Structure 1
Amino acid sequence: MEPSAHVDTFARDNLPPLEQWPVLRLDDPGLAYPARFNCAAALLDEAIDAGHGERVAIWSNVDGEPNATTYNELRAMVDRWAHVLVEDLALRPGNRVLLRGPNTLQMAAALLASLKAGLVVVPTMPLLRAKELKQIIDKARIGAALCDARLADELNRCREPGDEYFAPDLAQVAFFHSDADDSLDTRAAGKPAHFDACDTAADDVCLIAFTSGTTGAPKGCMHFHRDVLAMCDLFPRHVLRPNADDVFCGTPPLAFTFGLGGLLCFPLRVGASTVLIEKLTPESLLQTIERFRATIVFTAPTFYRQMAPHVARFDLSSLAKTVSAGEALPDATRALWREATGIEMIDGLGGTEMIHIFISCAAEDIRPHAIGKAVPGYEIAVVDDAMRRLPPGTVGKLAVRGPTGCRYLADERQKTFVREGWNLPGDAVYMDEDGYVFYQARADDIIVSAGYNISGPEVESVLLEHEAVAECGVIGVPDDERGQIVKAFVVVNPGYVADDTLVAQLQAFVKSHVAPYKYPRVIRFIEALPRTETGKLKRFALRTM
């Protein structure tokens, strides 16, 4: 590894042993990075050097009105904030800094300023509570936090010695999105508009991204400055193909790597614009596309399904590409969106451990029911429990390797995620002879009933084709006779009665569309499905209901 710029060496010291790392493939010609660079400078300063200084970098809402921040203005803001971090807060390269805020200009500036100063950013979801924040602070030994002033309450509990969620490592907090005398905004106003980026190594840790917790206790995934650029230079370049005239928008939080890439890093890498809006509903996302003439949208399948019925009320003529990720994209949702907009969805499979999407394909290359193929730069295999490759058409465990990969922060689960140099994200898939990947379920969500393997997402996709079903989640539950049976949790559309008659109709519907043994023997109607902030279905929560 290149000599580190970090004075605080905690991050590098707590990387897994090298023998537990995945193989890192850096042979793609688009990944020929220098040994030393700072990813924030590469994203922002290089865009300005390329002539994009007066173009809009970030659109935001200020008192309900569109606010444009150019690349030159964003860099001046970021550099002033970096001076505050180094001079006023006395933070040093390698210090971990927790970031807490919704999708705003200020959150983007806090993130970029921290990276430029050589800090290790730990972005967190806005809805996390003190208990969850303490777990992250303790795990990553975080000494400072930058927090939107409107989200102070839960974080302040971590600063109170008498509180059950007191986190002793958290020595200081600076608030932003505030006009208080000691806020980041106020302090930065008097700072110089130029900051020399920290001379970080390409393999210095710059990001600890905590998983969203769909499978239990969150894990800290450590990524390098090199990884941030790699996520910008593979999926976007080969599949999304954006340019400087594009306007990005969407729902994933910047604290989630899906949002960090899609709503900040990808647009900056090509000199494009991004729209950062704090809270979006399906209707307000459509309004945002219309208002800002957005061309590329990132969101989860649930949002596309909920937006489709309202599309006709909005001018979406600017919209060219829509990206779905975060959970499996049901065929019914893909078809519904295509019928409503004429746009073929770009599906993607990624993960916090891999930083972003590694399986996808351009809209014109899709194959029915498939997610896509390995993004150039990545290699995909389907393996059995002994890590032997399986032939095309055989369901097994997804294995992937490429320029990014899993490096957990001090976590025994590293040995489970990485085996023989391959990352094992925990997905059950099969691959056809042309390399297209077909998702079945999370490997631990395959339902085994009377000897049959059943994919929960496949049953969900069928149920969603029924006009009465708004949302659904399918799991396996124990059964004395069959080992497991299929159970569906269903949210019904307005105008339908959730009763035994509808249960029978839905069961018959599934039997008529897929093999009868896959039908849900139990259906429970609920008001809403449990989801993470990123829109993922919490299957483990369904199991406790």
Structure 2
Amino acid sequence: MSTTHVDTFAADHLPPREQWPEFLFDAPELQFPDQLNCATELLDGWVAAGQGDRLCIQGQGVRWSYADLQAQANRIARVLVEDMGLVPGNRVLLRGANSPMLAACWFAVVKAGAIAVGSMPLLRAKELTQIVVKAQVSHALCDARLAEELALARPGCPTLTQVLHFNSPDAGGLDARAAAKPAGFDNAKTSVDDTCIIAFTSGTTGQPKGTMHFHRDVMAACACWPKHVLRPTRDDVFIGSPPLAFTFGLGGLLLFPLSVGASTVLLENASPAALPAAIAQYRATVCFTAPTSYRAMAPQLAGHDLSSLKKCVSAGESLPAATRQLWKDASGIEMIDGIGSTELLHIFISHDEAHAKPGATGTVVPGYVACVLDDEGKPLPRGQVGRLAVKGPTGCRYLTFGGDDRQGQYVQNGWNLTGDAYLVDADGCFVYQARTDDMIISGGYNIAGPEVESTLLLHPKVAECGVIGVADEERGQIVKAFVVLRPGIEPTDTLVRELQDFVKQTVAPYKYPRAIEFRTALPRTETGKLQRFRLRQGT
């Protein structure tokens, strides 16, 4: 492949072509020109079309039109190029909570032909060092309030030579420098297959991996799930909790709204306690968050005017049927469920609200194909559990720098193997069973941990739970549940037996948790995913 990048690190550290998945670009909306800069398509195109006055992005004390966001992104791009010496292909770490300024920084990086490397706000120096070293990051734009951990990381990051802080009163900070720049900028003439994002997986398995996405991938993601499943309009107002550093958040809260000329609300605090009030304040129509957040928000909806809310999207982890029903009872809205991955950028199996089926993720998003494979890579018939395999216009390309050799695990025979165990039911819907490494084998039975979790969540005294398999001399493994109780409920031995009996009465008795440990909280990633590996490690 060719690249227009001056710094060719990304092109030099793509996996070998023979290890790439098969890509599908058959649909007319997936035909792109050889020269493509997704910032031009998503932002500048609306201004050029006379839509610059349309509302684009809101946040605390900020209300920007498309022209406003373009001007701010252009000024920051000038700072990157003129003051910080950035050249196309450099990697830029972006560090900050969701905000209009962080969005402007993302567009500035992409406009300049560089590669945006997002980082979750809660990451510590050790984790930041891993990302910077793996992606050989040279520049960073960091919220001044999050400067400390990045400063602690810098001794271990010799490539990171240029750092500027925003939300800083300093005359040498990004805000002041950008304000002094002209509002025009000529976007880099990038290739359709130049990398524009290196997104790191959120760490449910402990060690993040860098996934590389091209300008074409960004536009392909905008052309598939939003168009065919979400079906937003230019009058929609998007809101939600996932960080922009997480591809679920980047797509749902920035790329997808701008792709249709809609507006988005970026909140620094989008906790379950804060989000209902924000939906009411901004009259949001589309909400993106994880199942855990919907479950926590449901009891809090009374007293908030959510009449503007039309669509609620759940992704990031499996959606238990109990959570779906709880949210529908509280809000009147049927959730749109979906599964995506950082490796494939966004959602590839989903359903719209009209075709929701409790317990099922949905059907394949147009533009993608999927099937369930056995351990030998052969398709399984309906009703049998196997490995989910996906192909489409986006796919896995792991950053190979540093000797990472996991490409061959994720991509096999042209398929992206997501690490999820699924079956296809009689209606052709894909039904989630477990992460393939979350399958518990106990006494010869295969038990899906998330199924036991979904069952326990039906119990009125259970707020959250996580289920894993633990070693057992007699049975190989036993099912162990970590349970967070609802406020006011005391953990007792009697309650342990009550929960065990409840599971036995609800699903096959062999699936019941033989061990239950009560916790005040469960380990989760910043995006809300349960970290079962930490439960296995005893943390």
With the length of structure 2 as denominator, give the TM-score of the two structures.
Answer: 0.98
- Structure 1 residue corresponding to 2:479, chosen from 461, 483, 486: 486
- Structure 1 residue corresponding to 2:453, chosen from 447, 460, 472: 460
- 2:169 and 2:455 map into 1 onto residues whose CA distance is 52
Aligned-partner SS, 2:274: helix
**Residue 282 of structure 1, CA deviation:** 1.2
Question: Which residue pairs with 2:531 in the alignment?
Answer: 538
1:240 maps onto 2:230 in alignment: yes
Question: Which residue pairs with 2:287 in the alignment?
Answer: 297
Deviations 1:281-325 (A, max 9, x none): 212100000000000000000110011111121100000000001
1:178 maps onto 2:177 in alignment: no
1:71 maps onto 2:66 in alignment: yes
Cα RMSD of the aligned pairs, angstroms, is 0.9
Give the aligned residue type for 1:517: Y
- 1:318 and 1:50 map into 2 onto residues whose CA distance is 28
Give the aligned residue type for 1:467: P
Contact persistence 2:324–2:358 (CA under 8 A): no
- 2:437 and 2:193 map into 1 onto residues whose CA distance is 33
The 5 Å alignment of 1:405-424 reads: 405-410=395-400, 411-424=404-417
Give the aligned residue type for 1:441: A
Question: Which residue pairs with 2:469 in the alignment?
Answer: 476
The 5 Å alignment of 1:372-521 reads: 372-410=362-400, 411-521=404-514
- 2:50 and 2:224 map into 1 onto residues whose CA distance is 23
- 2:358 and 2:150 map into 1 onto residues whose CA distance is 46
Contact persistence 1:47–1:270 (CA under 8 A): no
- Structure 1 residue corresponding to 2:248, chosen from 258, 275, 290: 258
- 2:233 and 2:272 map into 1 onto residues whose CA distance is 26
Contact persistence 1:104–1:277 (CA under 8 A): yes
Aligned-partner SS, 1:426: strand
Give the aligned residue type for 1:456: G
1:216 maps onto 2:206 in alignment: yes
Contact persistence 1:40–1:112 (CA under 8 A): yes
**Residue 433 of structure 1, CA deviation:** 4.2
Aligned-partner SS, 1:512: helix
**Residue 397 of structure 1, CA deviation:** 0.3
What stretches of structure 1 of length at least 5 have no aligned partner? Answer: 161-165
Question: Which residue pairs with 2:29 in the alignment?
Answer: 30
Poorly superposed stretches of 4+, deviation over 4 Å: none
**Residue 185 of structure 1, CA deviation:** 1.1
Contact persistence 1:158–1:170 (CA under 8 A): no
Question: Which residue pairs with 1:7 in the alignment?
Answer: 6
Question: Which residue pairs with 1:49 in the alignment?
Answer: 48
- 2:8 and 2:84 map into 1 onto residues whose CA distance is 19
Contact persistence 2:52–2:66 (CA under 8 A): yes
Contact persistence 1:223–1:407 (CA under 8 A): yes
Aligned-partner SS, 2:43: helix
**Residue 58 of structure 1, CA deviation:** 0.6
- 1:50 and 1:499 map into 2 onto residues whose CA distance is 65
**Residue 7 of structure 1, CA deviation:** 0.3
The 5 Å alignment of 1:176-215 reads: 176-215=166-205
- 2:50 and 2:310 map into 1 onto residues whose CA distance is 25
The 5 Å alignment of 1:32-181 reads: 32-62=31-61, 67-160=62-155, 166-181=156-171
Contact persistence 1:55–1:71 (CA under 8 A): yes
- 2:425 and 2:186 map into 1 onto residues whose CA distance is 50
Aligned-partner SS, 2:199: strand
More divergent stretch after superposition (354-363 vs 276-285): 276-285
What stretches of structure 2 of length at least 5 have no aligned partner? Answer: none
- 1:470 and 1:44 map into 2 onto residues whose CA distance is 42
Aligned-partner SS, 1:52: coil
Question: Which residue pairs with 1:267 in the alignment?
Answer: 257
- 1:270 and 1:28 map into 2 onto residues whose CA distance is 19
Question: Which residue pairs with 1:163 in the alignment?
Answer: none
Sequence identity of aligned pairs in percent?
Answer: 61
With the length of structure 1 as denominator, give the TM-score of the two structures.
Answer: 0.97
